[in-house]
Amino acid sequence: MERTSAPPVAWVESPLQLIGAAEWAAAHDRKVPIAGRLTAQMSETADELIARGASFGATEPYLGIPWKLLSAHHHWLVGDGFSGQFRLAATVLRPRRITFLDDGANAAAFAGVLLGIDAYARPGVAERGLTTRVAPFARDQILGRALAGRVAFFTAFDFGAERSSGLADLGIRIERHRFEWTRRTARPFDAPRGRVMLGSARPVDGRMPLREYLAWVEVEASRGPLIYLPHRREPAALLDAVRKIPGVTVRQLKLPVELVLAGATQPIEIISLPSSTTTTLPLVLQGTGAMVRPRHDAPGVAR
């Protein structure tokens, strides 16, 4: 018999995934232990969520696969279905229930993998080795659990009618949330001039030349003073260059923007390059009068 009273464990690798775990715990009134990968902002985000009353159990940092912790729980809340470590762990340990949390827009892409629309590979990455070899076994494991009604997505993203219907046919549930807990527990955030720019990892990842990125910041700052919230992977040298641009105030809070901006005390204009925040922030800021403006026409952004 399945141990339905046992708590799930959340295996998360990014701040947004950690927020998803807090939202799931609040929505289901469950205390969830956390296995968190040691990446940028994770410790700060975990501390902030706990301070706000997130229903977390023991919170343990990991660099690899937390084999012992995973084997002790039949239900996994998984932040990254594309992870090679997840594929291997799922194949070996065979969890009885899996709920996938948001990993940015990759949640919808992973739905395509389960539907057989796309290959089991992280979008835009050429995979090889063990990660590739265990992919079909992990997918079979997930789909087998889906047949028993034991796979779900807990997401803020809309997968579209066709994918949603296809997942339902596989036995996979989609449970939507709108960052209700995040908004309810928000701390005040003040932006005196009403303009906030979100930093991006595009120049760090080589997807946008640095000079074009800085030119974009300069153009927006020329339209009026703004607060710049850095991306968690922006290096110090890049931030130093941003600080030199007239009209820009860098506010380095070391927390994901969903947590920071949820407490906006007045309507704000949010300027960003295209990213998953185009979906998350309108939900977080619902009813505040905020305007999210992704700049698809910024220099260096592919059309």
pLDDT along the chain (303 residues), means of 10: 68 95 97 90 94 95 92 95 95 96 89 94 80 92 97 95 96 97 94 91 90 95 95 93 97 92 92 90 91 74 54
The Cα 193–Cα 204 span in angstroms is: 28
pLDDT of 296 reads 66
33 and 64 co-located in one domain: yes
**Distances in whole angstroms, Cα of residue 122 to Cα of each of 12, 63, 102:** 17, 20, 14
**Distances in whole angstroms, Cα of residue 213 to Cα of each of 226, 242, 298:** 16, 10, 8
Strand order in the sheet with 226-229: 248-250, 226-229, 195-198, 269-272, 291-294
pLDDT of 3 reads 43
- Angle, helices 130-147 vs 106-114, to 10°: value is 80
Domain-terminating residue out of 183, 198, 219: 183
289 and 141 co-located in one domain: no
64 and 93 co-located in one domain: yes
- Strands, E assignment, 102-247: 151-155, 172-176, 195-198, 226-229
Counting the structural domains of the chain, the total is 2
30 and 148 co-located in one domain: yes
Long-range contacts of 116-125 (CB under 8 A, 24+ apart): 117/163, 120/82, 120/87, 121/82, 122/82
pLDDT of 303 reads 45
237 and 176 co-located in one domain: no
| β-bridge partners, 293 | 271
Domain-terminating residue out of 139, 165, 183: 183
Q: Which domain holds residue 224?
A: 186-294
> Phi-psi category of 126—alpha, beta or left, where left has phi over 0 and alpha has psi -120 to 50?
beta
What radius of gyration, in Å, describes the C-alpha atoms of the chain?
20
172 and 271 co-located in one domain: no
What CATH number is attached to the domain comprising 276? Answer: 3.40.50
- The structure's pTM equals 0.91
Domain-terminating residue out of 164, 183, 202: 183
The Cα 25–Cα 30 span in angstroms is: 5
